Amino acid sequence: MRTLQFFAWMVGLVLGLGLGQNFALATDPPSGKSFHLRQTPIVEACKKARGAVVNIHSERKGGPVDALGQPTQINGMGTGIIVDKRGYIITNHHVIEDVTTLRIRLSDGITLPAKVVARDQETDLALLKIDFAKPLQTISLGTTKDLMVGETVIAMGNAYGYEHTVTVGVVSALNRDVALNRELTYRALIQTDASINPGNSGGPLLNALGEMVGVNVAIRAGAQGIGFAIPVETMIRVCSEMIGNKKRGYGLGISFREEAGRPKEDGPVQRKVIVDRLEPGSTAFKAGLKLGDQLVSVGDIPVESSIDWEKGFLDRLGGEKVGLVIRRDGVETRLNAQMETVGKPGLSDQIWARVGIKVQPVGPESVHKVNAQLHGGLSIRDLRPESPAALAGWQKGDILVGLHEWEMISHENLLFALNHQEKSGSETLKYFVVRDAQVLKGAIPFGSLIPASNP
């Protein structure tokens, strides 16, 4: 009898039914008082941010040559942060420098190819883009304005290739200037003793509320417990500039003052974006914006940072009206901003028919980091498949800065160069374009193809 009872008890234990009690299997989520003790703010912060953190796998040439004398590929790793639901990702410039292939692995395991949209070597930040059918989770932005020395912070990233690794530490110091080498000095970094390892670069440094306060960037070689992160305010400024300049090719004639505060001590950061400067005759000026206006929304995107403002104008067409909501003297007002028309009528049509591109003039600020002597260029906004420009390897977002021996800063410049080329009888026309903070050169074919290459 005792044997039968013991056997029945064991069967009940395996089935979760023993002695009239329910036993939770290991795969069931924990519950009860002990679970709530374990579910700390750190656990909650990681759960909140995880979906907006991606792993970056890259390949670059530069290894030992193979049997054919060709350089082998070097595999690299890093981390990225989703800043826009359409697939825009911020990371470090050094993560994507000189890479030939980029792959992004989302938190759910899906792997997608990525391209570099823009980069800023000076701040060591870069903007990537992936194409995904569904809206993606974005990171929650915090602030360093109330960040405290000794405060708990969390580093999340692809440490040594171990995806979504989490480490915890404290803020060791603020506003550290760190010279990595003669060419690169980081300014006003956050110092932390949270373990930051190779592969963590480009990932978020979080506070205990799951808000990003920095972008992990560097470690001190030979030291333990000394890592650094770029403040989130720097990331916001640089990211908004990269989105605006790269996707439109021209500015909207507006500058902002950003304010961040925390009305409740343990509540989320609340942000305001205030108009600080307007250029007469610009898109923003014509829309009716005034100094001191608070930007509330652009289209259907609430504005909490300058990134949101730029995101609201992504992929808009020339002539399209974009609805704005602003707060002026405590009252919300609706305005409309009309996007500039890309190109000049007549000239634009001729360029499209003969070369297969639509261009928008851009100022020197878009190209001066590549070459301070350049006076601007022509940003390629559209490209016709199988056109001479497409066969030459030009891409949307490229900035055409030179054809033959002439600088390209207007539609008239481009047509002059094309007319001169036809009169010369040559089959190709040398060109220079800016792409990913580099100047590429090649030749646009009228009869044969010469691909782009680094000068």
pTM, rounded to two decimals: 0.69
Distance, CA of 431 to CA of 411 (rounded, Å): 15
d(CA 164, CA 401): 41
Identity of the highest mean pLDDT range in 114-118, 194-198, 233-237, 405-409: 233-237
Residues 313 and 384 in one domain: no
Among residues 57, 93, 94, 164, the one annotated as catalytic is 94
Same domain? 290 vs 301: yes
pLDDT tens track for 84-111 = 998 999 999 999 988 888 999 999 999 9
Q: Spot the catalytic one: 58, 172, 201, 379.
A: 201
Name the residue range of residue 31's domain: 2-39
Q: Are residues 215 and 85 in the same domain?
A: yes
In which band, very low, low, confident or very high, does the pLDDT at 252 lie, cut at 50, 70 and 90? confident
Q: Given 84, 124, 308, 398, which residue is catalytic? A: 124
- Average pLDDT value over all residues in the chain: 82
Residue 321 domain-assigned?
yes
CA 250/CA 104 separation, integer angstroms: 29
Asked if 24 and 63 sit in the same domain, the reply is no
244 and 256 co-located in one domain: no
Domain total for the chain? 4
277 and 135 in one domain?
no
Do 202 and 63 share a domain, yes or no?
Answer: yes
pLDDT digits (tens, 9 = 90+) for 133-153: 899 999 999 999 999 999 999
426 in catalytic set: no
Looking up residue 444, the CATH number of its domain turns out to be 2.30.42.10
124 catalytic? Reply is yes
Same domain, 143 and 244: yes
315 classed as catalytic = no
Report if residue 45 sits inside a domain.
Answer: no
Q: What angle do CA 107, 111, 116 make, to 5 degrees?
A: 100
What distance in Å separates the CA atoms of residue 430 and residue 439, rounded to the nearest whole number?
Answer: 13
- Same domain? For 244 and 254 the reply is no
